[in-house]
Copies of this chain bind each other. A is one copy, B any other.
């Protein structure tokens, strides 16, 4: 279920968006201002953000900058003004798309789908990853090993997803920590080691000598298909 964070200070719009998105199967959370939006994003890791530019406490660009500091989550900007200046500024600040209020719900939903699809290219290309005796179905959130289901905690999922999404490429510990744990956890390497260990125990045939979840000492980890 796709997690989407709606940031808007007008309850009417927030509620309308929530209802429509829930009806389409999204997992919706809302935040009424920039500060709570950043806190919410850090704790629940949405896969896409809908951001109203007219917030009471922060400028829209500041919110985007706060997100871009640690995550590449796609951001869809909502603007009350049709004038194009703030649109350019928002896109410059790192937004991914733009919709002007009043907006057609259908158009917003279409752009949202597009953003999610674009942000998960490998997820769309490889929804299922096959290892020797383990099958990982990213879309269905399911892992089987020798036919039996394997249970993964949310954090384990998030970490595994981050690794599988870039097969063969080294992911630095700083990047993994920022993506999975959010900002402020850049120094919690012990945590990372712990969860990599758990994933290996659940997925690798010989956890002591991993063949797919590889360590690059001093740099990070790499998923080898």
CB-based nearest B residue for A216: B141
Interface size class of chain A, counting residues whose CB lies under 8 Å from the partner chain:
10 to 19
- Whether B139 lies near A217 (C-beta < 8 A) is no
A140 and B153: CB pair below 8 A? no
> What separation, in Å, do the CA atoms of A151 and B217 have in the docked complex?
10
Number of copies: 2
Which residues A139-182 have CB closer than 8 A to chain B?
139-142, 151, 153-154, 157, 168-170
Q: Which residue of B lies closest to A139 (CB)?
A: B169
A131 in the interface, Cβ–Cβ < 8 Å? no
Evaluate contact between A140 and B154: CB separation under 8 angstroms. Answer: no
Q: Assess whether A219 is interfacial by the CB under 8 Å rule.
A: yes
- Asked if A218 lies at the interface with its beta carbon under 8 angstroms from chain B, I say yes
How far is B217's CA from A140's CA once the two chains are assembled, in angstroms?
15
CA distance A217 to B216 in the complex (A): 32
Set of chain B residues within 8 Å of A154, measured between Cβ atoms = 217-219
Closest B residue to A157 by beta carbon equals B219
Q: Measured between alpha carbons, how far is A157 from B170 in the docked complex, in Å?
A: 13
Q: A140-B169, A141-B169, A142-B222 provided; 6 other pairs, C-beta below 8 A? A: A140-B168, A141-B219, A142-B168, A153-B217, A154-B217, A157-B219
- Interface residues of chain A, those whose CB is within 8 Å of chain B, are 139-142, 151, 153-154, 157, 168-170, 216-219, 222
**Across chains A and B, which 9 residue pairs bring their CB atoms closest together, nearest first?**
A141-B170, A154-B218, A140-B169, A154-B219, A140-B168, A140-B170, A153-B218, A142-B168, A141-B219
